[in-house]
């Protein structure tokens, strides 16, 4: 019995088969944007002309092109990292600037709070010429209900602290006077004034000029009579030196 041997050529794998793995990698890179126009790039080409197999042509990638792709991908990654670092630095700088502005705002508010709560002497660069509760027939009560600051007529008289003017005008023995309700709830009174520079209901600040000293009312000479009171009325006086010192005024 004769045996027939099959005949025919044994063909080596075609180009399509040889380049399949490389082409898959190129396709993946193309879809992710690493390479966009491989077909148009001279460096990308098949080993030889693609056989007419009826299959979709496949692009073979040489080692040089693969290196170019890797370099491009690395450059894109570095650019993305640099952009992220710049954005992070800008965000950190913005946060630091915000903290600085907030700190400055807090400092400004604190400085304003201290200014509004500060106290000053009613006459600058002066001294107490007559003390509190000094005895004399000059006063109807028999004792001094406030303190006198040495001052020539026309000397600036200042509000000792923040408050609201509750009374102005003639005050009998006090002459021209001003009474202010202080921010702490106490009242201060300024007497024997030659002129008055504020009106009832007006807000005043520490150190603000409110009048000029004089010698109106029951006096023997020009000076400023100053009282600290628990109410706006006569007879509710307390030690004005202790009151001023409690608020940091050196008298």
Picking from 39, 104, 100, 93, the residue whose alpha carbon sits closest to that of residue 65 is 39
- The catalytic position among 144, 192, 223, 225 is 223
- Residues 44 and 65 sit within 8 Å (Cβ to Cβ): yes
Sign of CA dihedral 239, 241, 242, 243: positive
CB atoms within 10 A of CB 169: 10
H or E element that contains 150: strand 147-150
In 163-249, at which residue ranges do the beta strands (DSSP E only) sit?
Answer: 163-170, 176-182, 187-196, 203-204, 209-213, 223-229, 237-238
Q: What is the DSSP letter of 57?
A: P
H or E element that contains 130: strand 128-130
Asked about 150 being catalytic, the answer comes back as no
Which residue is listed with tokens 């003639």? 170
Q: Which residues are catalytic?
A: 223
């Amino acid at each position: 019995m004769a045996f027939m041997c099959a005949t025919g050529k044994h063909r080596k794998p075609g180009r399509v088969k040889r380049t399949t793995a490389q082409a898959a990698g190129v396709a993946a890179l193309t879809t992710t944007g690493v390479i966009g126009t491989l077909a148009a790039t001279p460096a990308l080409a098949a080993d030889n002309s693609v056989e007419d197999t009826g299959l979709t042509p496949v692009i073979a990638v040489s080692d040089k092109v693969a290196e170019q792709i890797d370099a491009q991908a690395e450059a894109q990654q570095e650019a993305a990292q640099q952009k992220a670092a710049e954005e992070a630095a800008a965000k950190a700088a913005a946060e630091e600037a915000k903290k600085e502005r907030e700190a400055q705002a807090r400092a400004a508010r604190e400085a304003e709070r201290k200014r509004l709560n500060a106290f000053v002497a009613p006459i600058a660069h002066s001294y107490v010429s007559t003390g509190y509760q000094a005895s004399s027939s000059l006063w109807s009560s028999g004792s001094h209900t406030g303190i006198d600051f040495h001052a020539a007529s026309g000397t600036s008289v200042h509000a000792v602290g923040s408050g609201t003017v509750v009374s102005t005008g003639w005050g009998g023995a006090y002459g021209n006077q001003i009474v202010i309700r202080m921010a702490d709830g106490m009242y201060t009174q300024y007497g024997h004034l030659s002129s008055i520079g504020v009106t009832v209901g007006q807000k005043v600040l520490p150190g603000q000029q409110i009048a000029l000293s004089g010698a109106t009312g029951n006096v023997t000479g020009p000076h400023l009579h100053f009282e600290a009171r628990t109410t706006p009325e006569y007879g509710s006086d307390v030690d004005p030196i202790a009151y001023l010192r409690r608020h940091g005024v050196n008298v």
